[in-house]
């Protein structure tokens, strides 16, 4: 799953949404931003885009939602609170907010099972939710092995989810009125980058390295201000597998810069860099039988 350093965009968005969405039941109109303050200046708040944000229908529903939100510091307790809320209010629009936040919390805690379960609950409510599509695809892509008998079916499912996410990012995100454009852009960039990362991982696992390279580059370009060190490392290895050693070394050096040596990704990045240094100019080239660093390993 995504390194924790990359989760900040999702968590920042979640915090903003919690502060802006579901603040009043539908029979109590929320305050609207002053149109005169929105303008076209950089960073100005924007009118609502995409889907209408979920709203509470009654005060008891709203109060129960807030009670569930209060447990979000504990991912396991929060997942139960979200399920309990959904059982009590089976038609509530706010269920999707709780399930999506449960998905993020599970991702940050590296709990793939809970993340997948929460993503599927979101997709039952909204099959086109891009964040849930990416979350479901990511779990499948990262936990499918070449030895799995159903690997082709699982990869096809993950690919379908990820591709659908790239199609719905601009139309199916619920954005509260008054959201600053930079927050919208950062969130969309993160989701788009994640979708491309999943597609790159699928093709990498299938040893289709040119396709993997293409999607890893798209993933990095979608969020250039916050490159994912694992994606950069996988790009280096995909290039290495194609014998594009100078390009691979450039990306391996970048992966080294983005990681700490004590981490799994950092160790693999340095192994890959050292191998490529030998291949491109060292005195002792790596044996041809030596695989690229991280081949077959998960650098998380």
pLDDT, tens only, 19-76: 444 555 544 433 333 332 333 344 444 444 568 889 999 999 999 999 999 999 899 9
Task: Tell me the C-alpha distance between 241 and 111, whole Å.
Answer: 31
Say how many domains are in the chain. Answer: 2
Domain that holds residue 237: 227-300
One domain, residues 178 and 255: no
Q: Which one of 215, 249, 271 terminates a domain?
A: 215
Asked if residue 35 is part of any domain, the answer here is no
One domain, residues 211 and 233: no
Asked if residue 167 is part of any domain, the answer here is yes
One domain, residues 167 and 18: yes
The predicted pLDDT at position 11 comes to: 42
One domain, residues 167 and 274: no
One domain, residues 99 and 167: yes
Q: Which one of 183, 215, 247 terminates a domain?
A: 215
State pLDDT tens for residues 211-252.
999 999 999 999 999 999 999 999 999 999 999 999 999 999
Q: Which one of 215, 239, 268 terminates a domain?
A: 215
Residue 121, domain CATH: 1.25.40.10
Percent of the chain with pLDDT over 90: 71
> pTM value?
0.80
One domain, residues 205 and 282: no
């Amino acid at each position: 799953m995504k390194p924790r350093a990359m989760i900040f965009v999702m968590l920042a968005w979640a915090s903003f949404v919690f502060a802006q969405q579901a603040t009043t039941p539908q029979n109590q109109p929320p305050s609207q931003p002053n149109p005169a303050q929105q303008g076209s200046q950089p960073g100005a708040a924007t009118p609502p885009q995409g889907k209408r944000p979920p709203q509470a229908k009654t005060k008891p529903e709203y109060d129960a939602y807030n009670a569930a939100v209060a447990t979000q510091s504990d991912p396991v307790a929060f997942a139960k609170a979200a399920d309990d809320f959904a059982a009590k209010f089976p038609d509530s629009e706010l269920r999707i907010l709780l399930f999506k936040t449960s998905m993020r919390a599970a991702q940050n805690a590296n709990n793939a099972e809970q993340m997948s379960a929460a993503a599927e609950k979101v997709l039952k409510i909204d099959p086109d939710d891009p964040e849930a599509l990416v979350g479901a695809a990511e779990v499948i892509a990262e936990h499918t092995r070449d030895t799995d008998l159903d690997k082709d079916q699982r990869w096809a499912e993950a690919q379908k989810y990820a591709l659908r996410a790239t199609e719905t990012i601009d139309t199916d995100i619920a954005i509260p009125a008054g959201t600053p454009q930079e927050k919208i852009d950062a969130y969309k960039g993160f989701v788009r980058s994640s979708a491309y990362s999943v597609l790159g991982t699928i093709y990498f696992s299938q040893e289709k390295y040119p396709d993997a390279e293409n999607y890893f580059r798209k993933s990095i370009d979608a969020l250039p201000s916050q490159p994912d060190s694992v994606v950069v490392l996988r790009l280096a290895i995909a290039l290495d597998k194609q014998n594009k050693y100078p390009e691979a070394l450039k990306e391996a050096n970048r992966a080294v810069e983005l990681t700490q040596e004590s981490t799994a990704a950092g160790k693999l990045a340095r192994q890959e860099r050292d191998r490529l240094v030998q291949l491109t100019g060292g005195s002792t080239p790596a044996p041809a039988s030596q695989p690229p660093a991280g081949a077959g390993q998960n650098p998380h």
